[in-house]
């Protein structure tokens, strides 16, 4: 895709700090570096996001992630890792080429904050929603 910054990085038209590359996947340091070592893992084939990918393409992408994540953690002495994928603008996607963020974690006070709010379970509503999803 001609206007895609990640396609331009893959094509070598824009420089990047590569940490991994094979036939289907490229991983490079995110220029924003939310935490030191923040890495993006992208398929070389353009997909808008994970929702456009088939199982084979997604499998090729995700097969690389554990190895790359371990290398990032080892190199940075991180204590943990958030592995994040955003799909569509409402979910925080800003570049519309599938990518997975590997965000090393060092302390609870670093620059990344992911918070989930727990709710009391409504088991009948959960069962109805699960059935609706299963039948979709």
Active site residues: 99
Dist CA 44 CA 8 (whole Å): 10
CA separation (Å) from 55 to 50, 52, 58, 102, 119? 10, 10, 5, 21, 32
> CB neighbours (10 Å) of residue 16?
18
Residue 15 CA, chain-centre distance (Å), reads 20
Residue 80 CA, chain-centre distance (Å), reads 15
Instruction: Select from 41, 28, 48 the least CA-distant residue to 96.
Output: 48
CB-based contact 26:9 (threshold 8 Å): yes
């Amino acid at each position: 895709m001609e206007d895609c910054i990640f396609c331009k990085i893959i094509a070598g038209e824009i420089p990047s700090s590569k940490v991994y590359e094979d036939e289907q996947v490229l991983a490079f340091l995110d220029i924003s570096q939310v935490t030191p070592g923040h890495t993006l893992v992208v398929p070389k084939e353009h997909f808008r996001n994970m929702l456009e990918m088939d199982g084979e393409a997604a499998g090729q992408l995700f097969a690389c992630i554990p190895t790359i994540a371990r290398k990032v953690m080892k190199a940075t002495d991180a204590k943990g890792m958030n592995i994040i994928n955003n799909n569509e603008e409402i979910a925080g996607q800003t570049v519309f080429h599938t990518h997975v963020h590997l965000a090393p974690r060092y302390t609870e006070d670093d620059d990344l904050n992911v918070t989930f709010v727990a709710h009391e379970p409504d088991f009948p509503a959960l069962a109805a929603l699960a059935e609706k999803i299963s039948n979709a």
